[in-house]
Structure 1
Amino acid sequence: MIDAIDFKQSIMNRQLPEGLALHLQALWYDGTGDWKTAHDLIDQLTDKAAAHVHAYLHRKEGDLWNADYWYNRAGQPSTQVSLEEEWENLVVLYSQ
């Protein structure tokens, strides 16, 4: 496991930590500004955590209809927090 502080530091250092679950890898790439790689990593996964990250990515993209679809698949309500806060919450949630 990795804590949120080390996770953010790895983004600043541009060094993807070894052994990260795909959910966190997607968030890591998104944190570096590489939305496409983040989406490609999460797109084919079917678990609720992947759907949650997928929802965030589509919300960030501005595709709110698609984001709502993925929030529903994740069993999560749509959120009104900032994108930065949602990203942070997802990192904390899925790094535990």
Structure 2
Amino acid sequence: MKLDENTIADFLKSKDKFNDYSPMLKALWFDGNGYWEKAHDEVDSLDGQPAARIHAYLHRKEGDQWNADYWYRRAGEARPDLTLEEEWGLLLARFLL
């Protein structure tokens, strides 16, 4: 499912709801607002497929394809044939809805 631009904009401005977000949503919020390192810190020490999936996206964005592919495997998924923006949007839809 694809989110509309208003939903994405609202999410990126949603500082008042931030503390209620899961680590995956916090990571997407940080990344979407230009804080890759903070996004990575949110999921770096977490176990489980959801965190691994965000971790994979972040390493793909970083340009470290080998590491990204490792995390995609940990998440049980293949690297998607999408732009980074499309992948970020799909992840947001997955964890927001």
**Could you state the TM-score of these two structures normalised by the residue count of structure 2?**
0.87
CA contact under 8 A between 1:58 and 1:66: conserved in structure 2?
A: yes
- 1:8-43, CA deviations, whole angstroms, 9 ceiling, x for partnerless residues? 3242x3625230000000000000000000000100
- Give the equivalent residue in structure 2 for 1:15: 15
Alpha-carbon distance change, 90 to 10 in structure 1, aligned in 2, over 3 angstroms: closer
Indicate the RMSD between aligned Cα atoms, in angstroms. Answer: 1.8
Gaps of 5+ in 2: none
Relative distance call for 1:25 and 1:73 in structure 2 (3 A) is: same
Unaligned runs of 5+ in 1: none
**SS, match of residue 15 in structure 2:** coil
* Higher-helix-fraction structure: 2
Write out per-residue CA displacement over residues 27-62 of structure 1, whole angstroms, 9 at most, x where no aligned residue. Answer: 000000000000001000011000000000000000
Matches of 2:11 and 2:73, distance apart in 1: 31
Change (3 A) 1:36 1:29: same
Question: Is the 8 Å Cα contact of residues 60 and 83 (structure 1) preserved in structure 2?
Answer: yes
Runs of 4+ in 1 over 2 A off after TM superposition: 3-8
Residues 51 and 71 in structure 1, CA contact (< 8 A), matched pair in contact too: yes
Secondary structure (helix, strand or coil) at the match of 1:33 reads coil
2:81 is matched with: 80
Which residue of the partner structure matches residue 33 of structure 2? 32
CA spacing shift, 1:59–1:16, aligned 2, 3 Å: farther
Matched residue pairs, number? 93
Normalising by structure 1, report the TM-score.
0.88
